[in-house]
Amino acid sequence: MSNRRSLIAVSSLAIAVTFALGACNKPADSASSTDAKTADAAKSGDKPALTIAGLPTDKDQVSYMIGLQMGKSLEPAKDDVDLDVMMKAIRTTLKGEKPLMDDKQAASVGEAFGQRMQLKTMQKMMTDAKKNGEAGEKFLADNGKKPDVKTTASGLQYQVVSEGTGPKPKPTDVVKVKYKGVTLDGKEFDSTEAHGGEPAAMPVNKVIPGWSEGVQLMPVGSKYKFWIPAKLAYGEQGTPGGPIPPNATLVFDVELVSIEKAQPQGARPAAAPQH
């Protein structure tokens, strides 16, 4: 944390990255028309390119957009920030007035704040991990008593929704699957539908252990449901900053569409349901 930047610097960086990503992700076939619209809007001065209620001018819209981006980047620290004081610092900077703290003081405050935020994040992660772990254990204990749910030696639970007649994949195979992954509360974190609906190609040995074990039980053409305990998924940390909470039990609906050729040695892994 010794190189922790100030909160305003981080917010500014987030805005810059947002702009950059927006420019990079612009579809090629619409680039020329978008550029033309942007040029026309620039020529028109303060006339906005969009009509937005409550934001009649281009300056209003730009200001609101920057505020939105700053708000999103500050959301994790919302209880630690005084907006009035922050706005005072912004006005001071934009007016070129003398600030109440110099760069060295700002760096010291930023470092101490970063350490507090890191501690708070760790404490929340530990609390959530305990809560999610207990909830997962209780769910799996009850779920495992159902007659159509099978539990493997590792703790993976699965249900055969429909059984196919094809071969079963090996660890070195690449499979094509359709899937949906949710947490125990039903919140979807990934699916093939979210990526266009086409089957996804995945190396069996490059995904989370529970998913890898489960898909090897499936003949091609099958549809299974998996309940994967945290120890076979993302463990106590989950995916920090991502959609998987710490110590989360995951639920997957999986259809095994086909088995592809084994992945060549050194080949780049295909996408996997790990996000």
pLDDT in tens, 12-40: 444 443 443 444 444 444 444 545 555 55
Residue 101 to residue 93: CA distance in whole angstroms = 11
Q: What is the mean pLDDT of the chain?
A: 84
Residue 249 to residue 138: CA distance in whole angstroms = 11
Q: Which CATH number fits domain 152-260: 3.10.50.40, 3.10.20.740, 3.40.50.300, 3.40.640.10?
A: 3.10.50.40
From residue 190, how far is each of 6, 11, 273 by CA, in Å?
34, 28, 7
Residue 209 to residue 265: CA distance in whole angstroms = 20
Residue 67 to residue 9: CA distance in whole angstroms = 14
Q: Taking phi first (over 0 means left), then psi (-120 to 50 degrees means alpha), and beta for anything else, what does residue 267 get?
A: beta
The residue ranking higher by pLDDT, 201 or 14, is 201
Q: Which of 83, 72, 77, 183 is CA-nearest to residue 124?
A: 77
Marked catalytic residue, from 173, 224, 234, 244: 234
| Identity of the amino acid at 186 | G
Residue 187 to residue 37: CA distance in whole angstroms = 39
Tens of pLDDT along 117-163?
A: 899 888 989 999 999 999 999 999 999 999 999 999 999 999 999 99
Q: Is residue 240 scored above 90 in pLDDT?
A: no
Per the CB < 8 A criterion, the answer to whether 65 and 7 are in contact is no
Marked catalytic residue, from 158, 224, 226, 252: 252
Marked catalytic residue, from 158, 179, 224, 226: 179
Marked catalytic residue, from 158, 190, 226, 259: 190
Is 252 annotated in the active site?
Answer: yes
pLDDT band at 87 (very low <50, low <70, confident <90, very high): very high
Residue 110 to residue 115: CA distance in whole angstroms = 9
Write down the domain spans for the chain.
7-100, 152-260
Burial per residue of 207-231, b for 16 or more beta-carbon CB atoms within 10 angstroms, e otherwise: bbebbbbbbbbbbbebbbbbbbbbb
What's residue 18's pLDDT? 45
Marked catalytic residue, from 208, 228, 244, 259: 208
Average pLDDT over residues 203-207: 94
Structure tokens at 147: 């007659």
Per the CB < 8 A criterion, the answer to whether 238 and 213 are in contact is no
Tens of pLDDT along 58-85?
A: 999 999 999 999 988 888 888 899 999 9
Marked catalytic residue, from 189, 224, 228, 244: 189
Residue 75 to residue 57: CA distance in whole angstroms = 27
What's residue 39's pLDDT? 52
The pTM of the full predicted model, rounded to 2 decimals, is: 0.66
Is 190 annotated in the active site?
Answer: yes
pLDDT band at 241 (very low <50, low <70, confident <90, very high): confident
- Name the packing angle between helices 7-24 and 58-74 (round to 10°): 120
Is 158 annotated in the active site?
Answer: no
Is 35 annotated in the active site?
Answer: no
What's residue 15's pLDDT? 46
